[in-house]
Amino acid sequence: MIRTTLLISGDPQSLARGANEVRLAVEAELAFYGLTGEVRVGFTPDVSRTDILPFITVYPEGIVYGPLSPQDGAFIVEEHLYKGRVVEHLLAPPEILSGKIVRLPGKEGKLYAEKRVILRRVGVIDPYSIEEYIADDGYFALGKALTEMTPEQVRQVVKDANLQGRGGAGFPAGLKWGFVASEPAMPKYIVCNADESEPGTFKDRTILEGDPHAVLEAMAIAGYAVGAHEGWIYIRGEYALSKERLERAIQQAEEMGLLGDNILDSGFSFRIHVHAGAGAYVCGEETALLESMEGRRGIPRIRPPYPTVAGFRGKPTVVNNVETLANVPPILLHGANWYKGIGTERCPGTKVYTIMGDVALTGLIEVPMGITLREVIEAYGGGMKDGKTFKCAQTGGASGSIIPPSMLDTPMDFATMRQYNAALGSGALLICGQDTCVVDLAYVLMRFFQTESCGKCTPCRVGTQRIVETLERLRSGQGMVDDLQRLEETARDILSASFCGLGQAAPVPILTALEHFRAEVEAHIQGTCPAGVCAMNAGAEAAVSVNHNYFVKTAS
């Protein structure tokens, strides 16, 4: 009889640091003490700080040990599991525990806790075990939909919940499903956009690695709701572990009759395939993604027609992001009113954020919509790193806005951020201290977009190159008086004339930097970098800021 579960962090970074060796040592020690039949060992994705990898979580106690060597893993088996003594010197800091509660100074003792809806199973169940997923209400929502609800009722619940797309645009998922359902053409398709190529974003990877069945269940529900019988997951090519776990999950679900033909004897059939991309950022745009899936070069299509009318193979197609889909099963289980009780009135639910940059604690959190950036930094990021002063933040990944300190207390949801001409985007939050140069940051971002432009339209292909050249002059102390006007005009041309969302989002960092930090850009024309990191300053390291590594192609 299983009495204890050991989950070892099995993300790529943990595996590179010896997580598999830790597991082998643990399993050998369990066999030595005759505990193999009482203790189950599995992998779980990392959703915590990188300084404790690899780690082990002991369930049901919820005790976390890390970072660990193979010898540490064996010692934990001997002391904790065999002798019943907690190994104090190997305990991980308590901040990494799921559902942590933090009391924020200066807020009248206000308590902050993560609200885990999407990530509630991540780090708790073994992603390789469909039995553990089912034991935690897995596939119950699908069963409810197929046995108790009509497709129209399923669509109405999602619509009533006001579930907004978490890929960045925030388009209502219920409306999109309704568009596809109303189309007479057959067959119809459900496509999961798992091409998470936005720099600094790894929320979708965490969901896929830690709870793959949640996405499969949601896709089957979506298929039932719109009349589709086939689904595709377009996954980023570098996500090898996610792909492996998805394919294993699909196989398990088919063997149990939860995917495939005549699911739960309902007469509804649904099959899911996995398609790996080849690393093009532009394939995160839904029509470029569809082109790639069909075997052509991944470049955007002319719209209209939209994918809801003519998508994959020219047929009506729902394209939803991983995080969007992961919301569907809990909404069906608990109802639209429950979901609307989380977050804000206009933007209900939770949002998964990746926190990085100049904060004490980096990582991934899930919190209600409407939280402020100040609360994220102080309550979940542990405050600014090394006593730095907050200077700016970029929200939404490389294509997001660069926002100033005056927006620290602005509620972060799709509706409010739009009012301030800012973007919530994918949920990547890059926090920058006073030693960050805004010009240098903008240069790194624009160089990324110049590299990733598909080249289909001139405004994006040429415009990003011109902006990069102008920023390079500013960084090297060769700026000219009319550079600011040239930057702004070129950015607005790209914004208004680019063919797809990549080009339309590329100039956002430049425009927001000019709006909020114009004086710093002007200083570069005078030959001065206020932050002291550009090449014009003596002692600067080749104009590479502390944030450079977040946006190089290999980390995208």
- Which pLDDT tens digit goes with each residue over 161-171? 999 999 877 89
Residue 190 sits in the same domain as residue 291: yes
The separation between the first and the last C-alpha atoms of the chain, rounded to the nearest angstrom, is 44
| Same domain for 186 and 281 | yes
Close Cβ partners of 169 (under 8 Å, ≥ 6 residues apart) = 501
User: Do 78 and 29 sit in the same domain of this protein?
Assistant: yes
pLDDT for res 419: 87
Q: Are 547 and 479 part of one and the same domain?
A: yes
Structure token pair of residue 201 = 């974003």
Q: pLDDT band for position 98 (50/70/90)?
A: very low
The pLDDT of residue 112: 59
- The pLDDT, as a whole number, for residue 48 is 58
**pLDDT mean across residues, the chain:** 89
Inside any domain, residue 371: yes
Q: Is 381 exposed, middle or buried (0-12, 13-18, 19+ CB in 10 A)?
A: buried
Distance in angstroms (rounded) separating the CA atoms of residues 139 and 461: 45
Residue 102 lies in a domain: no
Q: What is the largest CA-CA distance in the chain?
A: 77
- The pairing of strands 56-59 and 63-65 is antiparallel
Percent of the chain scored above 70 by pLDDT? Answer: 92
Asked whether the predicted pLDDT for residue 247 surpasses 50, the reply is: yes
Around 87, how many Cα atoms within 13 Å sit in the side-chain half-sphere? 24
Virtual torsion, Cα 326, 318, 332, 234, nearest 10 deg: -20
105 pLDDT higher than 60: no
Q: What is the mean pLDDT of residues 53-62?
A: 86
Same domain for 393 and 375? Answer: yes
Predicted pLDDT of residue 167: 83
- Looking at the domain assignment, is residue 325 inside a domain? yes
> pLDDT tens digit string along 430-468?
999 999 999 999 999 999 999 988 888 999 999 999 999
Total domains present in the chain: 4
Nearest to 498 by CA among 545, 534, 537, 460: 460
Domain boundary among 288, 306, 336: 336
Provide the 8-state DSSP code for 470.
H
pLDDT beyond 90 at 404: yes
The one-character DSSP state at 108 is T
> Based on the domain organization, do 91 and 186 belong to the same domain?
no
Query: Which residue bears the tokens 């039932």?
Result: 224
Cα–Cα distance, 123 to 22 (Å, whole number):
17
Range from 85-89, 411-415, 500-504 carrying the lowest mean pLDDT: 500-504
Residue 121 lies inside a defined structural domain of this protein? no
* Residue at which a domain ends, from 336, 361, 387: 336
Alpha carbons within 13 A on the beta-carbon side of 132: 22
Confidence of residue 362 (pLDDT cuts 50, 70, 90): confident
549 is a domain residue: yes
397 and 415 Cβ atoms separated by less than 8 Å: no
Whether the Cβ atoms of residue 127 and residue 216 lie closer than 8 Å to each other: no
Residue ranges making up the domain that contains 511: 438-555
Is the pLDDT at 131 greater than 70? The verdict is yes
DSSP character string of 487-538: HHHHHHHHHHH-SSHHHHHTTHHHHHHHHH-HHHHHHHHTT--TTS-STTST
Q: Which of 21-30, 112-121, 357-366 has the lowest mean pLDDT?
A: 112-121
Tokens of 203: 């929320």
**Which tokens belong to 530?**
């206020």
The closest alpha carbon to 454, from 292, 238, 240, 236, belongs to 292
In a domain, 107, yes or no: no
This prediction's pTM:
0.85
The CATH code of the domain that includes 88 is 3.40.30.10
Task: Give every CB contact of residue 416 below 8 A, 6+ residues apart in sequence.
Answer: 344, 346, 347, 370, 410
146 in the same domain as 263: yes
pLDDT at 108: 52
Kindly provide the residue ranges of all beta strands, DSSP E only, lying in 303-450, ordered along the sequence: 317-321, 350-357, 363-368, 390-395, 401-403, 428-433
The CATH number of whichever domain residue 319 belongs to comes to: 3.40.50.11540
In a domain, 52, yes or no: yes
Round to whole Å and give the CA distance between 204 and 210.
10
pLDDT at 275 over 50: yes
User: What pLDDT, on the 0 to 100 scale, is given for residue 111?
Assistant: 55
pLDDT tens-place string over residues 290-339: 999 999 999 999 889 999 999 999 999 999 999 999 999 999 999 999 99
Which residues pair with residue 91 across a beta bridge? Answer: 65
CATH number for the domain harbouring residue 476: 1.20.1440.230
pLDDT above 80: residue 239: yes
Based on the domain organization, do 145 and 272 belong to the same domain? yes
User: pLDDT tens digit string along 474-488?
Assistant: 998 888 889 999 999
CB atoms within 10 A of CB 505: 24
pLDDT digits 0-9 by tens, 75-91: 999 999 999 999 999 99
> SS3 for 329?
helix
Same domain, 190 and 293: yes
CATH of the domain at 357: 3.10.20.600
The residue among 45, 72, 96 that closes a domain is: 96
Question: Quick check: 93 pLDDT over 50?
Answer: yes
**Counting Cβ atoms within 10 Å, is residue 429 exposed (0-12), middle (13-18) or buried (19+)?**
buried
Q: What CA–CA distance (Å, rounded) separates 354 from 199?
A: 11
Q: Are residues 378 and 494 in the same domain?
A: no
Contact 449, 502 (CB under 8 A): yes
Pick the closest to residue 282 from 263, 303, 261, 297 (CA basis): 297
Question: Which of 33-37, 92-96, 345-349, 415-419 has the least mean pLDDT?
Answer: 92-96
pLDDT over 70 at 160, yes or no: yes
> Residue 322: inside a domain, yes or no?
yes
Q: Do residue 367 and residue 394 come from a single domain?
A: yes
Q: Give the pLDDT score at 549.
A: 42
For 184, the 3-state DSSP assignment is coil
pLDDT at 104 over 70: no
Task: Note the Cα 61 to chain centre separation in Å.
Answer: 29
Same domain, 192 and 276: yes
